[in-house]
Chains A and B, each alone.
Chain A
Amino acid sequence: MTAGASSKDILLAVSHVSLSFGGAKAINSFSFEVERRSICSLIGPNGAGKSSMLNILNGVYVPQEGLITYNGTTFERMEPLKVAAMGVARMFQNNALFGKMTVLENVMAGLSRKAKTTVIEHALGLPRARQESASFELKSDQAIDFLDLNPYRDLVVEALPYGIQKRVGLARALVSDPEMILMDEPMAGMNKEEKQEMSGFILDINKKLGITIILIEHDISVVMSLSDRVVVLDYGRKLADGRPEDVAKNPEVISAYLGTVH
């Protein structure tokens, strides 16, 4: 854990990415870098292009311009299945859970892409298929345990409280041993206690498991306490980029984003 700041280990580099919908520019020549094992926050007002940026990284949106370098390989566009296979997981703003499935099934779905067995092996109940399912269940139970979701394990997610659903989304992302997790407002709609709890989980995931995190969050105190680096977006452009304490002092950020102090 003593990598030090001298030799930067960049996991993700976004370079001059632009995205427009029809004529409207959502992101305008935006660049930023994320260091391996760090927490990088994207902040900015609604409509600044934060979620769009995550969707570009996931391959859901295709940018008109720009390059993305992940783990030393450069891409013009990402593809969802390949991005998942490279070890990038996602926690969605609207949770995007599988509503009619149980917590366990949702988490296990996060492991589906690692399945090596065929449908026929499962139909016949062959040992290899059973073993794989059992190992998926064990692994999912570890993620469920890590996020204190044990009491909800066999419940259908759509009826669970919002804060619990957020944690299920995190468990589903976490279970596949990702290298990086993209978190879109993991604490939206939570009260102070829930936020503290979620912050604790995020720190654990980053520090104990060494997972790189890109975080979109509106609560500035949370952003300041968690982030190694903060990138400020406004109208699709980068306004500031740096350590949290430096960004907080940036006058442009204060006027454009934080507003005047009352």
Chain B
Amino acid sequence: MKTNAGQMTVETSLQINAKPQTRKLPSASTIAFVILVLTAPLFASHYWLMAIITPVMILSLAGIGLNIKTGYAGMVSVGAGAFMAVGAYGMFNFAAHGGITNFPLALLLGGISAAIAGYLFGLPSSRIKGFYVMVTTLAAQFFVEWLFTKNAYFYNYGSVPTITLPPMTLFDLDINGNNTIRYYVVVIIVLLMTLAAKNIIHSHVGRNWMAIRDMNTAAGVIGIDSARYKRLAFTIGSFYLGIAGALWAFLFLGTASTLSFDINRSFQVLFIIIIGGLSSIRGNFIGAAFILLLPILIDYMVKATLGSALNPGFLSNMNKVIFGSLIIILLIKEPEGFDKMLRNLTGYIKRRKS
């Protein structure tokens, strides 16, 4: 019982658990982060913009989607990749078969496709619980991979089962070729959707999700329709995953296939939210940055120290071993992820000041 020490007196629990109300004004770190990603094209290299910040932002958005289902509504999902795929393939098919080349509209339709898929796969959640909900999300994962690989219609009868967007329009901007515009499209969509997620979490909808997660029977008795709000979490979470999937496929990768959204992707997003912190918005960004940057950092450090003595195959395996070990150590030290660590740290600094 780790928390017992904090329960001994009111005074300690007051300090440890003082959770600042962030609703009123964005914190200094949030403002700094927003300014940084918006001004990055002025000073950061092409590599940083397109190969690091872009995927981190997109996977953060996917993390928010999964966090809505798992962190807030308490339903473990291992099918994040499936809904990302539906978003990407949905957008592609509306563009390829529907002739919708307006970028925002096609993206929105991709997101809505994923939301509908999420609603459908979320239907069993009103009848079953816990482990069994997880299994339905796993079913979604394999069903979607099968659907988009075995049915040539979904990749527009190409010679290989991959999808690439036809030229799109975005007002008068060059979304197809200009990297800076592509960067800003990703960043602005992610920031606006993050703000929307924050608004939802702080509304009665977010409170209902957490209430269902923490104490389902009590939620029902105080008048919260748990079946309805579970379906809503699946729908909205999948919408976020779908938008993230479409951005990942077309603004990061360029060309995608179901391999881009396989079970490994699902686990990657799940790790992001676990490491960043369940039911935290900023945790998604920290988790995504950690998951994507750590292997690069390890690679760099191993090469710098041991360098040419090692063959590349061994190097990449060693990277995985170090990466895995660090995650295990982190989760033993702080099972609630980076978000909790930061909260403890800021709490500690505040106490020091006062």
Contacts and interface: CB of A to CB of B under 8 A. Distances in A.
Interface of A: 58-60, 80-81, 83-85, 89-90, 92, 96-102, 105, 108-113, 115, 117, 119, 122-125, 129, 132-133, 136, 151, 154-156, 158-161, 164, 172-173, 176
A101 B211 contact: yes
Interface in B189-224: 195-197, 199-200, 202-205, 207-208, 210-211, 213-215, 217-224
B205 A155 contact: no
A159 B13 contact: yes
Majority DSSP secondary structure for residues of B touching A: helix
B223 A155 contact: no
A84 B222 contact: yes
B232 A81 contact: no
Contacts of A98: 210-211, 213-215, 218-219
A112 B199 contact: no
B10 interface: yes
A9 B131 CA distance: 49
Interface stretch (B14-22, B92-100, B121-129): B14-22
B199 A122 contact: yes
A85 B223 contact: yes
Contacts of B16: 159
A156 B18 CA distance: 8
B19 A155 contact: yes
A133 B202 contact: yes
A85 B197 CA distance: 28
**What band does the interface of chain B fall in when counting residues whose beta carbon is under 8 Å from A?**
35 or more
Contacts of A110: 222
B60 interface: no
A90 B218 CA distance: 9
A101 B214 contact: yes
A46 to B, nearest CB: 21
Contacts of B204: 108-109, 111-112, 115, 117, 122, 132-133, 136
A96 B211 contact: no
B238 interface: no
Contacts of B202: 133
B224 A109 contact: yes
Nearest to B15: A155
8 contacts: A97-B218, A100-B279, A112-B204, A122-B203, A124-B196, A159-B16, A160-B13, A173-B222
A212 to B, nearest CB: 17
A70 to B, nearest CB: 15
A173 B6 CA distance: 27
Contacts of A84: 221-223
Interface in B1-43: 3, 6-7, 10, 13-14, 16-21
Contacts of A97: 214-215, 218
B334 interface: no
B65 to A, nearest CB: 13
B225 interface: yes
B59 interface: no
Nearest to A118: B205
B17 A113 contact: no
A119 B203 contact: yes
A115 B228 CA distance: 14
Contacts of B195: 125
A33 to B, nearest CB: 22
B236 interface: yes
Contact of A112 (B19, B207, B217): B207
Contacts of A132: 204
Nearest to A182: B221
Contacts of A60: 217, 220-221
A83 B3 CA distance: 36
Contacts of B208: 109, 112
A117 B203 contact: yes
A161 B4 CA distance: 11
B221 A113 contact: no
A99 B214 contact: yes
Which residue, B196, B202, B203, B232, has most C-beta atoms of chain A within 10 A?
B203
A253 to B, nearest CB: 30
B19 A113 contact: no
A119 B200 CA distance: 7
